[in-house]
Structure 1
Amino acid sequence: MTKNRLEAFSDGVLAIIITIMELEIQVPEEPTWQGLVAILPTLFSYLLSFLYIGIYWNNHHHLLRLASGVNGGILWANLHLLFWLSLFPFVTRWSDESGFAEVPVMVYGFTLLLAAVAFYILQRALIRDQGADGALAAALGRDWKGEGSPFIYLAGILLALLQPLASMGVFAIAALIWLVSDRRVERFVGDGRADLGRSENDCGLTK
């Protein structure tokens, strides 16, 4: 399997996940502003999960843009990530329908945490395949947001024991942090170093 086929498959799965979440949104019971206000918690939970799926899609694209290729380990690491992302419709609906109760919100947080771990595993698998001196490792450098996000999720999970709604606020803050554009890959590609890295890989110089 080529990396283009892997990316196309992943894009299709993420599109289905978003579609499932959207189909589960119920229209207001009354055609009034009050009816719309009544489903605002549902819209919030959908928006938050949509943002997370979009963030993962964006960063997944960046990873594969600089990847040299895929192997069996990368395929399984990618499926591992997609598995946790595929749970987003379930945990989103459970959190919403429970009125953001303690256990559903904690499970929502655990899903965010494990998706972040899965993305890190995929990232390391791609770097390992390309080599520590390859284009991907050079472009990413020190991933402060990737390293710090699990601690934010853990804080949100623990906070759910006291105030689940505040916990959802913590998860929203984490999403907003990731919305700040990370242009490391764009700058790397713009400098032409990505093409150099791929050329060296083709010559066997970075393996």
Structure 2
Amino acid sequence: MEKGRLEAFSDGVLAIIITIMVLELKVPHGDGWDVLFQQWPVFLSYVLSFVYVGIYWNNHHHFLHAAEKINGSVLWANLNLLFWLSLMPVTTGWMGENHFARLPVQVYGFVLLMCAIAWRPLQYYLIAANGGRESLLAQAVGGDWKGKLAVTMYLLGILLALVAPWVSCLLYATVAAIWFIPDRRIESRILK
């Protein structure tokens, strides 16, 4: 199977997700700073989600660039990831519109958790299709400490949202910051 169609489809879906999220930002009615300030929760949730979608797009790109082959399992695992990412606009808007209330922050964290969990089968099937444990991809992924840390922090954020939604948001932002730093594992293995 050609990976080009998978990449193009995924890029299109991610572009649509970002477009839907930005459409949730409403034009302020007025020309003062006070009117603009009223929009800060929606804008802040948009920025966080934009960064997350960008991180997934970047990692997806690097992973598929390093892969030579894909198969049906990779296609289905990719659709699973895209499904969970497609829920980002709804949870982003809900969280921002409700000023980071408990339940929206929990649901947002749940979607982040499911995206992280959905990444694992995609990673597994891409590695399997490209030589298994001895492959370049498997060596590059290694123990995947960032992935494990992210899942742990999302679970903690979901629980903490019951009592301190802002702490949960800080945890979610911390995970994004950890992943925002470029991951050179794949690039360094390919260049060897």
- TM-score (normalised: structure 2): 0.96
Deviation at 1:117, TM superposition (A): 0.4
Question: Residues 62-115 of structure 1, C-alpha deviation per residue, up to 9 Å, x if partnerless?
Answer: 111111211111100000000000000000111112222211110100000000
CA RMSD of aligned residues (A): 1.0
2:183 aligned with 1:182: yes
Name the residue aligned to 1:53.
53
Greater Rg by CA = 1
Rounded Cα–Cα distance in structure 2 between residues aligned with 1:179 and 1:190: 22
Q: Which residue of structure 2 aligns with residue 124 of structure 1?
A: 124
SS in 2 for 1:182: coil
C-alpha distance in 1, partners of 2:106/2:171?
A: 12
The equivalences for 1:166-181 within 5 A come to 166-181=167-182
Name the structure 2 match of 1:157: 158
Query: What is the deviation of 1:9?
Result: 0.6
SS of match in other structure, 1:84: helix
Where does residue 10 of structure 2 map in the other structure?
10
2-structure distance, mates of 1:4, 1:182: 23
Q: 5+ residue gaps in structure 2?
A: none
> What amino acid sits opposite 1:38 in the alignment?
Q
Q: Which residue of 2 aligns with 1:201?
A: none
Tell me which amino acid in the other structure corresponds to 2:78: N
Question: Percent identity among equivalent residues?
Answer: 54
Number of aligned residue pairs:
191
Mean alpha-carbon deviation: is it higher for 165-174 or for 44-53?
Answer: 165-174
Runs of 4+ in 1 over 4 A off after TM superposition: none
Cα contact 2:110–2:154 (8 A) shared by 1: yes
Alpha-carbon separation, structure 2, partners of 1:81 and 1:144: 19
Which amino acid in 2 is paired with 1:190? L
Equivalent-residue separation in structure 1 for 2:140 and 2:173 (angstroms) = 27
Amino acid at match of 1:174: V
Aligned to 2:71: 71
